[in-house]
Amino acid sequence: MPLLAERMSRAKPSAIMIVADKAKKLKAAGRDIISFSIGVPNFLPGAHVYAAAKEALDHDSGQYGSNRGSDALLDAIAHHFAESGLPGYERKNIVVGIGAKHALYNLAEALLDPGDEIVFPTPYWTSYYDIAEIVGAKITALPCPPAQNYKLMPDQLDRALASKPKVFLFGSPSNPTGMVYTREEIAALADVLVKHPDTWIICDDIYNRLVFDGVGYHNVLQFRPELRERTIVVDSISKTYGMPGWRVGFIAAPEKIAQALVTLNSNHITNLPEVVTAAAVAALTGPQDLTTQKRDEFAHKRDEVLATLNAIPGVRCPRPQGAFYAFPDISVAFGKKHGTTAINNDVDLCNALLDTKGVACVPGSAFGEPHALRISYTCKAAELTEGLKRIKGFFAELT
């Protein structure tokens, strides 16, 4: 029997998708399930996006397109970056992917040989770890526990970069914690990064339009423009415009990196479909009020989640200020029982919560932090309130 490639022994299916699928199956079987699992924005894009897609469908010749992305889309992306506070990118700096996940996968292929070191903070988005494993990179995950609000400290970064890792990857706002680095915090990290010229920097900032409390979105490039020659900014229309299934992600990068990704695209995907491209251009250049409205809605939901979680004795949740996730430390439950079920870790807790209360959350260990679980809180308001009530009830029943 011939064997699979060795790298497949390191490849794992996404832990988030496993929980989401389990919740979906239980729901299909008639169970009353509330899913706080998958990170979907749960809103549809504006009518102008559908109109642009329909128009493209009427005119689409169905031919192959640009490996980099159509000129109209590249210009829309450059405009989007400028509006986000990162002006000056040209078509030669930009490349699209089938979602930010694909762009990140391409970056791993372009930058990391087997054994090369990649550094990122923990908790991390699951795919950072899984993608790095597939390409055979050496992973250094820097612990950022709740006591430091899940944020990376400048001296911690400084120490980690002393070994000259090939890549440093981080994002603000963060998935899974919803943490947002303040202006001062980003400036301090930028000061450290300039001291380590041998490391590529990837900023995965796909939630940058979903920042609450007036904190604002900040990027290291705004404080240290000289970092631009080795920094890649990753963004996507998935969360900002309610378009996760349209699969459009993109990067802004030094020309050499962008060109490398164009080459990979030419061998992987060839191009984004014309209809998808038209919808993405409409989303990026059209009215932005839906995103603003959703951001404010998510901030209110965050308040409700935080108030409920922090009222549970022993549960502690650092205050998220962006995206749509909360990441409470639930380790107070470990060593206790729910009914006859022993809760010894985050996976036990998430399984028992789903089985007994029908609430699906993702165990923190999927993100490298086994003391926590992730709640994605974009569901309807009534569902959110009910799901939180069930979580509260679950903790009250622990013995």
Ligand X SMILES: Cc1ncc(COP(=O)(O)O)c(C=O)c1O
Binding residue (CB under 6 A) for ligand X from 236, 265, 285, 321: 236
**CA distances in angstroms from 350 to 244, 313, 354, listed in the order given:** 25, 18, 6
User: Measured from the CB of residue 273, what is the shortest distance to ligand X in angstroms?
Assistant: 16
Q: How far apart are CA 41 and CA 255, in angstroms?
A: 32
| Interface with ligand X, residue 209, by CB under 6 A | no
Cβ-in-10-Å burial (0-12, 13-18, 19+) of 60 comes to middle
Stretch that binds ligand X, among 99-107, 138-146, 280-288, 365-373 (CB under 6 A): 99-107
Instruction: Give the single-character DSSP code of 187.
Output: H
Strand partners, 329: 316, 372
Stretch that binds ligand X, among 25-33, 46-54, 98-106, 193-201 (CB under 6 A): 98-106
| Interface with ligand X, residue 249, by CB under 6 A | yes
User: Is 76 or 206 the residue whose CB approaches ligand X more closely?
Assistant: 206
Binding residue (CB under 6 A) for ligand X from 65, 145, 216, 244: 244
Stretch that binds ligand X, among 20-28, 56-64, 66-74, 96-104 (CB under 6 A): 96-104
Task: Say how many residues make up the chain.
Answer: 399
Residues 6+ apart with CB under 8 A from 115: 136, 137, 138
Q: How far apart are CA 32 and CA 379, in angstroms?
A: 14
What is the 3-state secondary structure of 286-334?
Answer: CCCHHHHHHHHHHHHHHHHHHHHHHCCCCCECCCCCECCEECCECHHHC
| Interface with ligand X, residue 125, by CB under 6 A | yes
| Interface with ligand X, residue 100, by CB under 6 A | yes
Q: How far apart are CA 47 and CA 322, in angstroms?
A: 26
User: Measured from the CB of residue 58, what is the shortest distance to ligand X in angstroms?
Assistant: 27
| Interface with ligand X, residue 171, by CB under 6 A | yes
| Interface with ligand X, residue 117, by CB under 6 A | no
Cα 29 to chain centroid distance, Å, stands at 30
| Interface with ligand X, residue 173, by CB under 6 A | no
| Interface with ligand X, residue 305, by CB under 6 A | no
User: Measured from the CB of residue 124, what is the shortest distance to ligand X in angstroms?
Assistant: 9
| Interface with ligand X, residue 175, by CB under 6 A | yes
Binding residue (CB under 6 A) for ligand X from 34, 108, 188, 206: 206
User: Is 178 or 358 the residue whose CB approaches ligand X more closely?
Assistant: 178
User: Measured from the CB of residue 349, what is the shortest distance to ligand X in angstroms?
Assistant: 22
User: Measured from the CB of residue 175, what is the shortest distance to ligand X in angstroms?
Assistant: 3
| Interface with ligand X, residue 37, by CB under 6 A | no
Q: How far apart are CA 78 and CA 288, in angstroms?
A: 16
User: Measured from the CB of residue 374, what is the shortest distance to ligand X in angstroms?
Assistant: 11
| Interface with ligand X, residue 167, by CB under 6 A | no
Stretch that binds ligand X, among 56-64, 143-151, 236-244, 294-302 (CB under 6 A): 236-244
**Cα–Cα nearest to 172, from 163, 181, 160:** 181
Task: Please report, as residue ranges, which positions from 306 to 345 form the binding site for ligand X (by CB under 6 A).
Answer: none
- Sign of the torsion angle spanned by Cα atoms 78, 79, 81, 82: positive
Alpha helices, DSSP H, located in the chain = 15-28, 47-59, 71-83, 99-111, 126-134, 154-161, 183-193, 220-223, 255-268, 274-285, 289-310, 346-357, 381-396
User: Measured from the CB of residue 171, what is the shortest distance to ligand X in angstroms?
Assistant: 5
| Interface with ligand X, residue 238, by CB under 6 A | yes
Q: How far apart are CA 58 and CA 16, in angstroms?
A: 37
Instruction: Give the single-character DSSP code of 68.
Output: S
> Count residues contacting ligand X (CB under 6 A)?
13
| Interface with ligand X, residue 99, by CB under 6 A | yes
User: Measured from the CB of residue 96, what is the shortest distance to ligand X in angstroms?
Assistant: 11
- First vs last C-alpha separation in the chain: 51
Residues of this chain that interact with ligand X (CB under 6 A) are 39, 99-101, 125, 171, 175, 204, 206, 236, 238, 244, 249
